[in-house]
Amino acid sequence: MMTINNPVIPCVTSLPGGCLQVGSLIIIHGQPTFNSNRFSINLVHQGNMHCIFHFDARFDQGQVVRNTNFPSSTWGQEERSTLLFARNKPFFMEIRCLQDRFMVAIDGNHYCEYSHRVSYSQANTLQITGDVQVSMIEFKSTNTYPTFPSGNRLNVTNPPIPFASLINGPLAVGNEIQVHGQVKPYPNRFQINLQQGCQTYPSPTIAFHFNPRYEGGNRVIVMNSLLGGQWGSEQRIATGRHLAPGTTFVLSIKRQAYNFAILVNGTRIANYAHRIGADIIDSVSIDGDVIVNKVVAI
């Protein structure tokens, strides 16, 4: 592990070990300037300045552009996605190198992937330029992704979906996770997981999986647990009027001594007996056809 504090921008620094490797993780703690127009984070070959991975945040276009500059000094086809950074607001960005692609997370949530167009091992230098301040750069080798900064107990509003975050404290007996949201008008399914670790790879242990399904008009809630990559037997209940398409809801998952109590808008709809020790739970993840207004650990 290597750390660089408060680098001067533009920043050019060699990668540990001489080049990028599978499992390499680069973490950047930064903040766009109050009048930021653009900033770039690049993995390059210092010898010929060939850019293996170009990540360009463009406030003037409201997009992030990703690309590769080939040895012939020509750019490839751009990949674009919506800009999630905000001017003058701190961010926590991770770039992880896999065998076939880069994976990028912003503020603890997976943001995008970028398939290698040339060998990742050609990258030997990190370059940061533009309208951004950087407080720290970390170089690590890890088997998990994303990782997360420490913080206060979970309390977020309007998170993007998919969402995953540490609870930042134990989910003890009497504690609960509340999700305030709305089922989309024409849903297929969504899921809320209480789990150990909030990475997407490798698969975490899921102590409680809550999965409303609407396919084909058959409305059912499936509850389960995932241990060692294997699902257990499903527990099913009817969705009911509380989680009908288009409806708003407050879902509470309360940890009790021997089970989870699941309440929707104050009405208990199910109990789910602990199959895995609930003390392992340190994270919550949400995905699917749902709009989330708030997630809070109480």
The DSSP bridge partners found for residue 261 are: 254, 271
- Answer whether 296's CB lies under 8 Å from 169's CB: no
Residues 21 and 93 grouped into a single domain = yes
Residues 58 and 188 grouped into a single domain = no
Task: Print the domain residue range for 54.
Answer: 2-141
Phi, psi of 69 (to 5 degrees): -100, 115
Cα–Cα distance, 234 to 154 (Å, whole number): 28
Q: pLDDT tens digits for the chain (298 residues)?
A: 788 988 999 999 999 999 999 999 999 988 899 999 999 999 999 877 789 999 999 999 999 999 999 877 789 999 999 999 999 887 889 999 999 999 999 877 889 999 999 999 999 999 999 999 988 898 988 777 777 554 457 888 888 899 988 887 778 888 999 999 999 999 999 999 999 988 777 889 999 999 999 998 889 999 999 998 899 999 999 988 889 999 999 999 999 999 999 999 989 999 999 999 999 998 999 999 999 999 999 8
Cα–Cα distance, 296 to 101 (Å, whole number): 33
Cα–Cα distance, 7 to 181 (Å, whole number): 41
In terms of Cα–Cα distance, which of 25, 76, 17, 32 is closest to 50?
A: 76
CA distances from 297 to 38, 153, 157, 250 (A): 36, 7, 12, 13
- Written as six digits, the tokens of 245 are 């398409």
Residues 135 and 17 grouped into a single domain = yes
Strands 79-82 vs 63-67: parallel, antiparallel or unpaired: antiparallel
In terms of Cα–Cα distance, which of 265, 246, 241, 167 is closest to 208?
A: 167
Tell me how many domains the chain contains.
2
Domain end position, chosen among 83, 112, 141 = 141
With respect to residue 147, please indicate whether it lies within any of the assigned structural domains. no
Residues 109 and 176 grouped into a single domain = no
CATH number reported for the structural domain that contains residue 119 in this entry = 2.60.120.200
Residues 183 and 266 grouped into a single domain = yes
Around 141, how many Cα atoms within 13 Å sit in the side-chain half-sphere? 9
With respect to residue 112, please indicate whether it lies within any of the assigned structural domains. yes
The pTM assigned to this predicted structure is 0.54
- Written as six digits, the tokens of 200 are 């997407």
Cα–Cα distance, 195 to 163 (Å, whole number): 13
Domain end position, chosen among 114, 141, 168 = 141
Residues 113 and 237 grouped into a single domain = no
